[in-house]
Every structure is written in structure tokens, then in C-alpha cells.
Amino acid sequence: MNLRLPSKVLEHIISFIDSNEDRNSVSLVCKSWFETERKTRKRVFVGNCYAITPAAVARRFPEMRSLTLKGKPHFADYNLVPDGWGGYAWPWIEAMAKKSPSLEEIRLKRMVVTDECLELIAASFKDFKVLVLTSCEGFSTDGIAAIAATCRNLRVLELRECIVEDLGGDWLSYFPETSTSLVSLDFSCLDSEVKLSDLERLVSRSPDLKSLKLNPAVTVDGLESLLRRAPQLTELGTGSFSAELKPEAFSKLSEAFTNCKQLKCLSGLWDVLPEYLPALYSVCPGLTSLNLSYATVRMPDLVELLRRCSKLQKLWVMDLIEDKGLETVASCCKELRELRVFPSVPDLDATNVALTEQGLVFVSQGCPKLESVLYFCVQFTNAALITIARNRPNIKCFRLCVIEPFAPDYKTNEPLDKGFKAIAERCKYLQRLSVSGLLTDKAFKYIAKHAKKVRMLSVAFAGDSDLMLHHLLSGCESLKKLEIRDCPFGDTALLENASKLETMRSLWLSSCFVSFGACKLLSQKMPRLNVEVIDEHPPETRPESSPVERIYIYRTVAGPRLDMPEFVWTIHKNPEIGVSHLAIK
Amino acid sequence: MITELEMGKGESELELGLGLSLGGGTPAKIGKSGGGGAWGERGRLLTAKDFPSVGSKRAADSGSHAGASPPRSSQVVGWPPIGSHRMNSLVNNQATRSAREEEEAGKKKVKDDESKDVTKKVNGKVQVGFIKVNMDGVAIGRKVDLNAHSYYENLAQTLEDMFFRTNPGTIGLTGQFTKPLRLLDGSSEFVLTYEDKEGDWMLVGDVPWRMFITSVKRLRVMKTSEANGLAVRHQERNERHRNQPV
């Protein structure tokens, strides 16, 4: 019997599917489902901007309204990817300007975005609504001004931790008086002061404004004035609170906060003086997300604040909270789902020792919904990891950074193998894992076997031999992104598990012992992978067996990229020609 | 008499042509770049990283962890894994804290006046503008905007562009015909140094970036042969600093 749904019906059904993972599955069923799905996909996500060409994306998804792109590898966040590596937004913007003029939303992460890109966006997409740039660089406030000035229906403009050439605060004044559509504005990463009166007017004429994240140049007085004009805010990033506290200003500020009855998320708070914190008490009971990771206040003041936050789901804080503070969190914040604890000083020698593994154990005991952890700590124990795993098998994201490289369990002097084994075994929904401390190859055997749902794994200063990589690449069924630095394996495991790499988005290896010869061989064996050697020294000046500095391997249907800088080497697909910057013309 | 030229960030066009000349084909247009160009092949100025430092960068070099001294996290690139925004903020906090401590202790540096035209405090944070750069053997000094840079590689690239490279086919400031200057493998002729607020000359690159820009007064591209004494002093000073409470 030939059962075929009329395409209109199929289209209608598929239009209810939001998840791109599901849509990808749908598109594999048969040709007609592929066609119907692609014609109805509105939100397109490309996890690696070099995996496919912009033209191919535009061609496949004619109804695209939202495009999300990621560029540089994650370790670029830690300065491991040299400037100029790539991740340019321009080819994408240029292609979409021509082929997808109905595009309304662009979200870019770790990409190089120039003022020309921003100007082209402003000029090309008539109904442009959303621009979110995360960890991007290459543009100036002039480009932002172009977006502000031209995009009449702009709803969202967010610059999250970007490196921006700051030419002053004028860009804000480019929002025309007729612009009233703003829902979210985040300029927290900019340095320059914007004119407060311009900002006040913009906020006053934006009734839909729900999220406002200010930069440190906005003062307490400025904040108070803005809150008065936007009591409907649900998300607020404050300016800085480091000015001297004046009693009048304080009571005005408290009152302004009291009137923000819908505030759910609070961030910013750079250098906040503890005297200001009581002004926030009125919003604490309603907060679901609190980012104190730039607030240099000490434990007692933090505790006073946090014990009022009974609905808190997400907490980012510095290690100044200490074990004691986390104990309070464990008893007061029963809704907590995500905890991130960052170091308060950049180097090991002066780290806050009042934060230990015990803090995390407390939270794992007291917060039944805890599922996402990022924890920086000087040292750790297997016992703590095992306890955490037993308490919280529902953990989905576990990133532990033991700051001292190769640090063993400080009580038993053993490697942390057993601890991470417990995490991998018990947390069956674990999707993201970062390991640290002293780890042998065994740890990776356990992880490979048990962490069936882990999609992203980060490893540093760990393992003994090729076995560790072999375990990971032959196990870890769901692995999509693997990033490794400073581990002592060589070529064997990589070459033996080459086929695994096509099932992953990307693999980053730096300061390991993989040789140039292996990269060449891998590249020759696997035509659908780009094997990029990122090395200061031209590979041909050294023997093929010598290790290379960094390797970035990713699957792609776009072939080798054409925009590589001089320090990126890909192996020419034709072995007789040898090494060149371009694999194929 | 030394005349100083005000110099901005330097060339901001990324010269893709150089990298892709082998294969031919049109490189994708990328417009203006943020300032960083390709390092490596073009040569680079030596910074403190290139000198043997206390504690090896990779304990695994010796083949096993047992015998080797593990790297101190403060000397390893990108470790601990904290995003650069956050790292800048941490270093800034440290600098502001120590500045506050010094003020409270009643210490007034003699060189405060000199540094005023270089730094200005905004919201308690110290911001750096243009600082002077001189190079051994070059009569004309330049100025570079530290605000426009966020990493050492950025800065080194700008300075190379300034002193070693101008438009193709012209004579650069050094009087040499422009061609990529190979400064690799530790055999570089020049090294980048800076004078800090205390008047000491240090190798560029040994402290976190934000700490560097709050203490730098001026830069000097020095002949490597003259810089050897600096490496030793840097280590001594490092030892001193490590013993001081933060």
C-alpha cells in the first residue's frame, strides 16, 4: 500500500517541530520529507561556520528567518587560538544579504565581525530584529551605531563579552526617536560612557523593554533613574557600584528596586561595595538568576544576600563565597539548578583557600535540582567526587577545574580516577564534562565506557599515553566536541580512530605529541575532515615526526577553507605536491 | 633631536594576499580586521615567554610526571581556563587593590606626575592611552595605543608593522628593504622590553596583560644581546613578588 501524505499536510505537521535535532532526523526519512522539512525550517543553527558554505545553507533553507553561527574553537576563550585564525562573519553576511533578505535574526559566537558586516546587516535585512554577538571581535562602536540607526524594528541588541573598538558612547544616540521596539539591550562589555539622557529617553519610549544590561560606566544615580523608567524589567545588568555611598542615593535606589516587581535576573554588580547590597534585598525573593561573579564582596555579605533568594535557580559567584557561604546556599536555595564558582584571583599562589571541595559537596546535598556545575578549586578528593555523584545523579553538566595541574587527591595522594569514574557512572544524563587534576589513562577508560551521553569533553594535563585518547575515541558514543591540551599521547590513537572524527563536530589538540606526519596521513585518509595544523614554525622545516603545536580537526562538506592565515597549514590533498597553505584551489 | 610621530593602531587591513599567494585564487573579502594579523611566518619579537622560565611549561616534556616539576598555573598560557573578559577583570581588581593599598599606606610615587598623562582613572579603573615606543638604531620614535590591544601578540604585531614593514617596495624605518623579518627559533635580533612605573626595565610578556598595561610607562625594542641581563632580573623580581602577600 502506498501511503503518502499530501505535502500540505506534511508541511503542517512538520511546522510543529521546533528542535533542529528532530528536524535533522525528519529530513533523513525520505526525499519528500527532506524537501518539506527544508522548506519549513525557520531557525538554522550551524555549529561550525566552516562545516558548510553559506551558499549551501541559503539554498537549502529558503524560509530561514534566524541564523546562529559559531566560529572559533572553544579554547579560543583562553587565548589558545592565535589572532587571525579565522571565523569571519563576512562571507555569511554577504551571502545571506543576497539570498536570504528576509533574515530577521543573527546570532554569532566567537566570530570576527567587522563594521562592514554590521553595516551590511543594517542595509540588507529590512525586517531585522535580533543581533546577538557573543565573544566576537573585530568591530567598533561605529558598526553598532549603524545597526541602531537603520534597523527600524530592532528588538534585541546584545553584545556579550565582545572585544569592541570603543570609539565613544555616541552609538547609543543613533537609535532614532521613532524606535520603540526594543526588548533587550546589552552593552555591558563596552567601556565608554553613554549619554544618560539618551539612554533614559530610549528606555522611556521602549514599553516592551524587558532586559537591560548596562556597562560599568553607568553610575548608581544613572541606574536609579533608568529603573524608575523601566520597572517592568525582568533582567537587569547593573552598572558599577563603586562610588561612595550617599544615604539619599541609597534610599532612592532601594525604592527603585522595590518597584521592579518582575525582576528575575540580576547581573553586573562590578566592584559592588557591600554597603549597597541591602538595596537589592527587595528583589531577592523573586530572583531566579543571580550573577555575582564580578562582585568582590566577602562571604558574610554574600550570605546576607543569598539567604533571601529562595527561588534562585542559577547562581554565578566567586570563590569569596567560601564553603560556609555554599552551605547557606545549600540550605536556602532549594531550586538551584546551576552553580558556577570562579576564582577571585588569577593565579594559583594567592587562591582563596576557604573554598574547598566541601562547598560543592554541601550544594550537591542540599539542592536536589542541581544539574549544572562549573567549579574552580585548588584541589579536590575522590571522596568528594563520589559523594557528589551519589547525591546528584541528575547532573547534566559537570566542569571541575582543579587549578593546580596534576594535583592528586590531596588526602590520599591518589589520582582522581575513581572520583571521575563515579561521576561518569552515576550521572547518566551527563552531556558536558571537564576533567582536571591528576588522572591516569584509567580515568578515560571509565569515562569512555560510562559517559554515554557526553557530547562535549574537555581535558587538560592528564593521562599517561595514547591509551587515554584511544579510550575516548573508541568509546563515548555521543561525543561531538573534544578538546585536549597538554596531554602526553602521540599519533597512534588518533590514526587508529580516524573514522570517529567524522561523527564529531570537532577535535582540538594542543601541546600534545601528535606529529605533522600523522596530520598529513589523517588528512589523506579522511577527505571529509579538515585537518588544520596551527603552528608558528613551517612544518617543512622540521622532520615529519616532530610534534606540532596545535591541531584543529573538523568535519566539513565545504572542503578546505580559503581564508587561512600563514600559520595554519592544511595538507594538500594531492600527496605529490606536499604542503601548502591552500589544500585545493 | 627626536621627533615623535603620533601613531594609531597601524594597518588594520589584514593582508591576506601574502598568505594565499601560493595557491592563487581570490581570498574571501573580510574587510577591516580588529588589529591582529598573522604572527609566526612574519617573524615576531621575543617576549619573556621565549626565555627559559622557572618551572617548565610542560611537565610532560620529561616523559613522566613523577620526576618533573609541574607547571605553576600562573605561567601556563590559557590556564586556569578563565575567559579573557573575566581574566582582565581579575587582574584589574588586583591592580586596583594594590593601588588602593599603596595609597592607604601613604606611599606617593615620585613618578606619579609623569604617569598622569599616560593613565587616567575611570570608575576606579586605570586606563592606558598612547605610550612611546623606541627601537635601538632607529632615530624616530613612535607611539602606540595600548587601549587598542588586548593581547601581547596583538601588540607585537603592531610594533612589527610599525618598525619593519610599511608599504611593499618602500624602505622601512630601519632603512632595510621590507621583507618578512625572520625572528624565529629564539635567534631573534630584537626583544621587546618596557619601563614600568618603578623605573625598572622588564621583558614584555611575563605578567598578565592587564597588569602590564597598568604598569607600563614606555616600550623599547631592544637588541637581544643587550637584553640578557633583563631575563635574570625578571626571575629575581618574580621571586620577590611571589613572596609578597597579595
pLDDT in tens, B155-178: 887 887 777 654 333 344 444 443
Which residues make Cβ contacts (< 8 Å) with residue A503, sequence separation at least 6? A479
- Residue B246: its chain A contacts at CB < 8 A? 345, 349-350
Kindly indicate the confidence band of residue B239, based on its pLDDT and cuts at 50, 70 and 90: low
Nearest by CB to residue B151, choosing from A79, A216, A293, is A79
Buried residues in A140-161 as b, exposed as e (16+ CB within 10 A):
bbbbbbbbbbbbeebbbbbbeb
Report the alpha-carbon distance of residue B87 to residue A343 in Å, rounded: 10
> What is the C-alpha separation between A565 and B39, in angstroms, rounded?
9
pLDDT bucket at A453, cuts 50 / 70 / 90: very high
pLDDT at residue A98 greater than cutoff 90: yes
A507-527 exposure pattern, b = at least 16 Cβ within 10 A, e = fewer? bbbbbbbbbbbbbbbbbeebe
Q: What percent of chain A stands above pLDDT 90?
A: 86
Long-range contacts of A85-88 (CB under 8 A, 24+ apart): A85/A534, A85/A565, A85/A568, A86/A50, A86/A112, A86/A561, A86/A563, A86/A564, A86/A565, A86/A568, A87/A49, A87/A111, A87/A112, A88/A112, A88/A563, A88/B28, A88/B30
Which positions ≥6 away from B215 have C-beta within 8 Å? Answer: B95, B196, B197, B207
Q: Are B2 and B139 in contact (CB under 8 A)?
A: yes
Q: Cell 601548502 appears where?
A: A580
Taking the Cβ of residue A536 and every Cβ of chain B, the question of whether any pair is shorter than 8 Å is answered with yes
Say whether residue A578 is in contact with chain B using an 8 A CB cutoff.
no
Distances (CA, A) of B117 to A80, A560, B98, B216: 34, 49, 21, 13
Chain B nearest-CA distance from A466, in A, is 13
Distance CA A521, CA A235 (A): 51
Q: Does A217 touch chain B (CB under 8 A)?
A: yes
Shortest Cα distance, chain A CAs vs residue B205, angstroms: 14
Average pLDDT, integer, range A445-458: 97
- Is residue B57 within 8 A of residue B69, CB to CB? The reply is no
Strand partners, A108: A69, A133
Is the pLDDT assigned to residue A348 strictly greater than 60?
A: yes
Looking at the complex, does the CB of residue A540 fall below 8 Å from at least one CB of chain B? Answer: no
- Relative to beta strand A184-186, strand B130-135 is unpaired
The whole-number pLDDT of residue B241 equals 52
- Pairwise CB contact (< 8 Å): A565 & B19: yes
In terms of CA atoms, which chain A residue is nearest residue B150? A163
Q: What is the mean pLDDT of residues A163-184?
A: 95
State how far the Cα of A313 lies from the Cα of A266, in Å rounded to an integer: 12
| Angle at which helices A141-150 and A115-124 cross, to 10° | 10
Which of A576, A447, A532, A515 lies closest to A81 in space, CA to CA?
Answer: A532
Cell 606617593: give the residue: B108
Helix (H) or strand (E) holding B141: strand B141-145
- Does A191 lie at the interface with B, CB-CB under 8 angstroms? yes
Determine the Cα–Cα distance for residues B146 and B120; give it in Å rounded to an integer.
13
Record the pTM.
Answer: 0.77
Torsion sign (Cα): A260, A265, A271, A274: positive
Record: contact A405-B73, CB cut-off 8 A: yes
Q: Inter-chain contact A77–B37, Cβ cutoff 8 Å? A: no
B184–A488 CB contact, under 8 Å: no
C-alpha A95, offset from chain centre:
25
Of B83, B203, B202, the residue nearest B150 (C-alpha): B83
- What are residue A552's phi and psi, to 5 degrees? -130, 115
The Cα–Cα gap between B13 and B32 comes to 5
Q: For chain B, say whether A347 makes contact (Cβ under 8 Å).
A: yes
Express each pLDDT in A283-331 by its tens digit.
999 999 999 999 999 999 999 999 999 999 999 999 999 999 999 999 9
Task: Calculate ∠ Cα B92-B96-B99, nearest 5°.
Answer: 140
Residue B55 confidence (pLDDT) = 29
Contact (CB<8Å) A562/B20: yes
Q: Decide: A219 and A239 in contact? Cβ < 8 Å.
A: yes
Residues of chain B positioned with their CB less than 8 A from the CB of A460 = 79, 81
Overall average pLDDT of the A90-118 stretch: 98
- Of A494-498, B54-58, B62-66, where does the model show the most confidence? A494-498
Which residues make Cβ contacts (< 8 Å) with residue A9, sequence separation at least 6?
Answer: none
- pLDDT band of residue B71 (cuts 50, 70, 90) is low
